[in-house]
Structure 1
């Protein structure tokens, strides 16, 4: 009588092969997969505002800017995430079309369902990336931007920015106005009434 084989754990290679054929996106954390939830329009607008500003500022440099659908691999934590925005300046990342392993910046737009993980477990994983210099958290509810910046002693120092200020991304030598990140993120409370609709 044959002995049943123990089911193999869902490793990184299996995740990448499985994820490639999925209709929806999933993050991978130490053998477990988690479906990505949908986002509000304001979340997407803030993501694009930051990414487009960075892309324009980094033209002509070796750095590349990606949004939402490109995975960040944190090998030391056995994780794959889909950050809202990431920047890599490392030529090694051009050799891995499915993911980026050496980002210098990662940004997440906070939502009620993800804020605790973005501030906690996800940030703990990202800190294992030797390349990472700035971890940016964009809070739509307060219209503030938090930047955790790695200093020369390898400590993460919080820099907090509000409307009317410029977010300093020192490693990239880029400054981004907070107002520009939150531009057009206000959402209508309700649809126009039928009476107000054009005929």
Structure 2
């Protein structure tokens, strides 16, 4: 998704009220608003495939999966984001309606226009979530997955999955055949 700044700076509460009346989604970072634009067929397909598998895998657990239309709020950065896919296992989040605040797993499907941002500034902000255990970047064209996992020393460690290799989503205990992730891409 490409981002473009729009409107005057506002508070987080003003943003929530304003965005509820908008025809498209927007991310909010410390008073600035960024319009979210459309995705490719490959992007949408990978998001759908992963969401279905995660939902089936997490059935009967306290964890829930959400797709691109649910926001996460990062209090420490005064920000709201729309991850492509995320999982929360938080009872607090299960009671929330407009946004979640304790993601365990966040997945972004990359495009040429967002890759640098997703790997850089966005990941820097996402690391501020105390609940986050894994951040996954999927490139559907290159069939490459980079999984950043928080280890027990507080460091983020990169695990790479290329081509036909199975993909491990450690934070939710899922080993996924790459053919399932890329089906119909």
Q: Which residue of 2 aligns with 1:50?
A: 50
Counterpart Cα distance in 2 of 1:133 and 1:21: 33
CA displacement, residues 87-112 of structure 1 (integer Å, 9 cap, x when unaligned): 00000002221011000000000011
- 4+ residue runs over 6 A deviation: none
- Report the structure, 1 or 2, having the larger strand content: 2
Larger Rg: 1
Distance in 2 (alpha carbons) for counterparts of 1:150 and 1:177 = 23
Structure 1 residues not aligned, in runs of 5+: 1-7, 186-199
Q: Which residue of 1 aligns with 2:129?
A: 129
- Name the counterpart of 1:101: 101
Measured in 2, the distance between the counterparts of 1:97 and 1:168 equals 30
Q: Are the counterparts in 1 of residues 145 and 161 from structure 2 also a CA contact under 8 Å?
A: yes
Q: Does residue 29 of structure 1 match 2:29?
A: yes
3-state SS of the aligned residue for 2:22?
coil
TM-score, with structure 1 as normaliser = 0.87
> How far 1:9 sits from its partner (Å)?
4.8
Cα offset, 1:163, TM superposition: 2.5
In the alignment, structure 2 segments of 5+ residues that lack a partner are 1-7
Q: After TM superposition, give the deviation of residue 156 of structure 1 in Å.
A: 0.4
Distance in 2, matches of 1:96 and 1:21, equals: 19
User: What root-mean-square deviation, in Å, do the aligned CA atoms of Structure 1 and Structure 2 show?
Assistant: 1.2
TM-score of the superposed pair, with normalisation by structure 2:
0.93
Instruction: State the shift of 1:182 in Å.
Output: 1.1
Alignment of 1:9-158 (within 5 A): 9-158=9-158
